Structure 1
Amino acid sequence: MIGERMHSIRLKNNLTLKELGERTDLSPAYLSNVENGRTSPTLENLERICRALQYDLPQLVSETVDYHPLIRKAERKNVYRNNYRVKNELLTPPGVLMRGSCLTLYDGDDTEDVSLGHEHDEYFVVAKGQLRIVLNDSEEYWMEEGDAIYVRARTPHRFQRIGEGDTVLYVTTAMI
């Protein structure tokens, strides 16, 4: 699919395979194989092609991913971490500019989940239970059901379930 999209962008820019090859230092035969799906480009080559076409690489990739906007609860993809203490279910389809997750912190496990900070902003909403979150090792917040907090990129933070019962969080991450 990437090759098909690359082909249409190249034609829209009125470029031949030879001209694109000259701009990328890739052979026209290789570019033809990519466009026809006979080979997959490396990330480095795909970046070179996108630069030559003056096209955004993340946009190209997102345009070629099968898009299914509805994620039903029973169809969520599970990602487990921290020795299976935290259940992480993805709420967004692949290839989009946001990532949504549903985190479940189980009753009886009061271990802190620690992050040194990500390269993207995050937005937490407590859907059930209570949560303690600490930003920059100094700002402590106690959150209840319905409370939300915005965490800027590269902000060290840690959180843990408090109170009785499971705590469920919805986390939205900007992937740009």
Structure 2
Amino acid sequence: MFDRVAAEDRLYCISKKQIAQFLNGVEQDNVYGFGFFCDGYDGTVLLVANTEQYHLSNFLEYEARFGATDSEFFRWDVGNWKYPAGLFSSSSTEQSEFEDAWKEHREPLSQTENEAKQEILEDICFKVLKRLVQERTFSGIPGVKGVTVLGPLALQESVLEKKKSLDRLLQ
């Protein structure tokens, strides 16, 4: 059986640890956003981040290739981020620890016969980001502009709407 409270607590603990590890290895002033990519269908949660340099490079390349696009949507759509599949490479110890710690909750969620699995998982991710923001986890990073929660079928409107609701946490 899936335990939402335990899942939220676990995700909070492993995320806080992974963010601290990540920030020890990157140029903090280049990171502008953190978030969760979550897929309720299989219970996957990935902690993600992007850098200003990576965003600008991809954005300019995208526009040159496909034409004008909404820059704010592009900035917060997780598929365009430097670290879209976790803060560390999939073969790293840090990423394995994160995934192993989440596995206890991933499997019960994926097996749940609830059609609202995606909403449940996004709500958990939202609450974890709220806790991390309230504890000022990101305050020491000068370039952070926000946090977000996305899923595999995020539409432009939902990406920007979720981002706006999370922005209120940072004020």
Q: Which has the larger radius of gyration?
A: 1
In terms of fraction of residues, the more helix-rich structure is 2
In terms of fraction of residues, the more strand-rich structure is 1
Specify if TM > 0.5.
Answer: no
* Greater relative contact order, per chain length (Cα 8 Å cut-off, separation 6+): 2
- What TM-score, normalized to structure 1? 0.22
- What TM-score, normalized to structure 2? 0.23
